Chain A
Amino acid sequence: MGMENVIELRGVSKALKAFTIDNMNLQIKQGYVTGFIGANGAGKSTTMKLIMNLLQPDKGKVSVFGLDYANHEKTIKDRIGFVYDSNIFYESLNLKDISRIVAPAYKHWDDKQFKFYVKQFELPLNKAIKKFSKGMQMKASIAIALSHDAELIIMDEPTAGLDPTSRRELLDIFQEVMVDGKRTILFSTHITSDLERIADYIVLIDEGQILFDKPVYELQEQYAIVKGSTELLDADTEAYFIKIERSPNGFQALTKDVAKVKEVFGEHAVIEEASLEEIMFYMKGADHPYD
C-alpha cells in the first residue's frame, strides 16, 4: 500500500472575515504523527475545521480516508477522534453520563479502554465537567477520542493548559497508540518541543498558506541558524538566507541550505541546528519565504 494519505485537501479556498485560505493543498500521511505549527491566527484551527467539515470550502476538495463529506460524513466522523480546546460537552454532565451518552454514537466504543484512560489521567467520574480545569477537560476529550478506536486523531492544541508532567504522560500515550501503525495523528501546538520528540512530519502555516510540509529529519538536515560578522554578507551570500537579523555585533539568520553555507563560509561563521521555534520565528516575515 505504501504511503497513503489519510487527509487530502486539494485547491481548497475559504474566505472568512479575518483572513482567507487560498488554494491550499495538504496531504497527511497514514501511520504518522504530523505536527501543525504557525502563529495565532495563521489558519491552523480553520484548516482543522475544514478537515472536520465544521466549515465547508468555497472551492476545492477535502477528503478523509479517501471519502468525501457530501456522501460519507457519518462513516468519516466515526473513524475520527477530534480534540479541541473549547469544551464540547454539556457542562453540567460528568464523565459517567458522557460515556453513556457518547458511547452509543460510535460503532467501536470500548468502555474498558475509556475506564483505563480515565484512571490513567486521574479524572473524576462523578464531577461535573464544568468544574474541571482546562487541562482536565482536554484529558477528558482525549480519553473519549482514544476510546472509540479512532484511526485518525485530530487535536487542536492538546497540550495547552497541561503541566509538564501531564504533557510527558500524554506524549507517551500518543507514542503508545502509534505502535501498531494503524493510526494517524494530526495535532497543532505552540509547544514545539512536544513536536521535536514525536512528530514525523511538520506542516508550517502562515496567513492561510502552507509554507512547508516536511519530514522532521529534512528540517534538521537542511535548516540551520547561522551567526557571523556582517562583513560576510553581500548580495550573493544574503540569498542563502530565509531571513537575516543584523545588529552592531553581527548577524543571525536562518538558512535552508546548510550545506551551501558551510561550503561558502567554512569556519568563518557559527552554524547551529535550528529548533522548530527558531524556524517558525524566522519564517514569519521572511525575506525569501517561498523559494
Chain B
Amino acid sequence: MQIIISNSSKEPIYEQILKQIQTAILSGELAEGDALPSIRQLAKDLKISVITTKRAYEELEKAGFIYSIVGKGSFIAEQNLDVIREKKLKVIEEQLSAVISNSKEIGLPYEELQELLKLLYEE
C-alpha cells in the first residue's frame, strides 16, 4: 500500500497515517499477517520524524488493528470485520440522528433531507 501525507492538512500527520492504514485494512488491501514497513523506515520514506510514525503505530496497536513483535516489526492483526462494521454502523446511526434533529429544528421536510443526502452521497 502507499501512504500519502499532506503537510498542509489540518489533520495531524500521525492521524493521516493511521486513517490510511485503517482504510487499507477495512477495504481488504491489507490482510491479516501482512507486514507493515518498520516505524523508522516509514519515517524516512515519508520524510517525517520517527516519533510521528511511532505514534501512528501505537494508536493502531491500541485499537487492535496491528501487533508488533520486538525485533521483527509490525503486522496486521486478525480483524473481526463484522465487529468493525457493526461499530461503524452505530456511529453512522448516531450521526444521522443528529442530522435528523437538526433538520427538525429548522423544519426541513424528509423529502428535502433525502434529496440533500442523495446529492452529497453521489458527489
Decide: B49 and A181 in contact? CB cutoff 8 A.
no
Task: Indicate whether A32 reaches chain B with its CB closer than 8 angstroms.
Answer: yes
Task: Indicate whether B41 reaches chain A with its CB closer than 8 angstroms.
Answer: yes
Within 43-67 of A, Cβ neighbours of B (below 8 Å) are at: none
Within 221-253 of A, Cβ neighbours of B (below 8 Å) are at: 221
Task: Indicate whether A281 reaches chain B with its CB closer than 8 angstroms.
Answer: no
A197 with B49, Cβ < 8 A, contacts A217-B14, A220-B12 known: yes
Separation in Å of the B83 CB from the closest CB of chain A?
Answer: 29
Separation in Å of the A37 CB from the closest CB of chain B?
Answer: 15
Decide: B40 and A197 in contact? CB cutoff 8 A.
no
In terms of DSSP, what is the predominant structure of the interface of chain B?
A: helix
Task: Indicate whether B26 reaches chain A with its CB closer than 8 angstroms.
Answer: no
A contact residues around B38 at 8 Å (CB): 179
Decide: B49 and A216 in contact? CB cutoff 8 A.
yes
Within 58-90 of B, Cβ neighbours of A (below 8 Å) are at: none
A221 with B47, Cβ < 8 A, contacts A178-B40, A181-B40 known: no
**Size band of the interface chain A makes with B:** 20 to 34
B contact residues around A172 at 8 Å (CB): 47
Task: Indicate whether B52 reaches chain A with its CB closer than 8 angstroms.
Answer: yes
Separation in Å of the A174 CB from the closest CB of chain B?
Answer: 9
A contact residues around B51 at 8 Å (CB): 32, 200-201, 215-217
Within 200-223 of A, Cβ neighbours of B (below 8 Å) are at: 200-201, 215-217, 220-221
Q: Which residue of B lies closest to A168 (CB)?
A: B47
CA distance in complex: A282, B72 (Å) = 44
A contact residues around B12 at 8 Å (CB): 217, 220-221
Decide: A217 and B41 in contact? CB cutoff 8 A.
no
Task: Indicate whether A263 reaches chain B with its CB closer than 8 angstroms.
Answer: no
Q: Which residue of B lies closest to A176 (CB)?
A: B44
Decide: B50 and A197 in contact? CB cutoff 8 A.
no
Binding site for A on B (CB under 8 A): 10, 12, 14, 38, 40-41, 43-44, 47-52, 55
Contacts A/B (CB < 8 Å), 8 sampled: A175-B47, A178-B44, A179-B40, A180-B40, A198-B48, A201-B51, A215-B51, A221-B12
Q: Other than the known A32-B50, A175-B44, A197-B47, what 18 A-B pairs have Cβ atoms closer than 8 Å?
A: A32-B51, A175-B47, A178-B43, A178-B44, A178-B50, A179-B38, A179-B40, A179-B41, A179-B44, A180-B40, A181-B40, A197-B48, A199-B49, A200-B51, A215-B51, A217-B12, A217-B52, A217-B55
Binding site for B on A (CB under 8 A): 31-33, 171-172, 175-176, 178-181, 197-201, 215-217, 220-221, 273
